Amino acid sequence: MDVYISANAFWALLISAVEVYKRECFGILLGYRDSSNIYIVEHAICYQTAQRRHTSVEKNGRASKRIQRFLGNLPHLSMIGDFHSHTGWGDLKGVGALSAQDVSDMASDHLSIIIVANDKRRTGAWQYNGDGTLSGTVDEYHFRLGGYYLDENARPKRANMFCPYAIGFNAKEIPQKFIRTAAPSSRWSRPKA
Ligand SMILES: [Zn+2]
């Protein structure tokens, strides 16, 4: 299983984790499944009503039902999964492994992204890791993004995460990168009068 993360979704995942750092964030993933083996994550939306604790997060049942119905009526996007963070600071380390609760919350055809957020020890460029995760640093934080799904035997498996936007990205180079991605292209140029 391959998972592609848009620049939008990438920042939303990181910002959600940082906002409630020391507690877990929870949210939903919007996008589509391109074939049986590819998820495209266009947006990551944080659940404001989630009850956050250090090692767990619970979604508000009523709000969740309302959102499910709303999302069922979106024209082009669908809910393809959810995300939450595993966080640590100081000597407590956030770990990437799925908890027993995480596994029991998983469903077939549903992608779960876990953002492992820890205090940064040293600056590291964003990179793909051999285990399918994607990691790097921004500001004072080290992040590792992992994607999980259930295989045909309902066993949890780790997907291969891809975020072309994040790769080669270095926090100090944001202005340069931004200038490059914001360069005029056919998509952004104004229609000729
Ligand atoms: Zn978890």
Task: At 188, list the tokens.
Answer: 């952004």
The CA 87 to ligand 1 mean position distance, Å, reads 9
Report, as an integer, the average pLDDT of 11-20. Answer: 93
**Residues with a beta carbon under 5 angstroms from ion ligand 1:** 99, 102
pLDDT in tens, 52-69: 665 666 666 777 788 888
The CA 151 to ligand 1 mean position distance, Å, reads 19
pLDDT of residue 133: 95
pLDDT of residue 169: 67
Task: At 53, list the tokens.
Answer: 């604790």
pLDDT in tens, 71-84: 888 888 889 999 99
Report, as an integer, the average pLDDT of 128-132. Answer: 94
The CA 101 to ligand 1 mean position distance, Å, reads 7
Please state, in angstroms and rounded to a whole number, the distance separating the CA atoms of residues 49 and 158.
28
The CA 58 to ligand 1 mean position distance, Å, reads 11
pLDDT in tens, 85-106: 998 766 667 777 888 889 988 9
Predicted TM-score (pTM) above 0.85 = no
Using DSSP bridges, classify how beta strands 2-5 and 160-162 pair: parallel, antiparallel or unpaired: parallel
